[in-house]
Amino acid sequence: MRASPVSGHSLVHFADAQQVGGFAQQALAWANENGIMSGKGDGIFVPQVMATRAQVAQMPKNFVEKAQ
C-alpha cells in the first residue's frame, strides 16, 4: 500500500464518479484502490451523501488491516 494518497487508479467504474469533487478525486481513488473504501455497491459511490457512523468506523479499520 502506498502511504501517499496518489493513485493511478480511476473512479470511472462508478456511475456517479463525476459527482466527486476535484479536490477529493485522487484521495478517493487511492482509498478505493487500496481497499479502504469500496462504494455502496451497484457501481455507485454516492460521494454527496453523508457516511454513517458504521461506514466511518470501517474506513480506519480497513486502513489498519491493509497496512499490516
Separation between Cα atoms, residue 67 and residue 49, nearest integer Å? 27
- List, for residues 49-61, the tens digit of each pLDDT value: 999 999 999 999 9
* Domain-located, residue 27: yes
Number of domains comprising the chain: 1
Separation between Cα atoms, residue 20 and residue 5, nearest integer Å? 15
Confidence class of residue 7 from pLDDT cuts 50, 70 and 90?
confident
> Which amino acid, residue 39?
G
- List, for residues 8-49, the tens digit of each pLDDT value: 888 999 999 999 999 999 999 999 999 999 999 899 999 999
* Domain-located, residue 51: yes
Q: Which domain holds residue 61?
A: 17-67
Residue 34 DSSP class: T
Taken in order 66, 54, 31, 14, the sign of the CA dihedral is positive
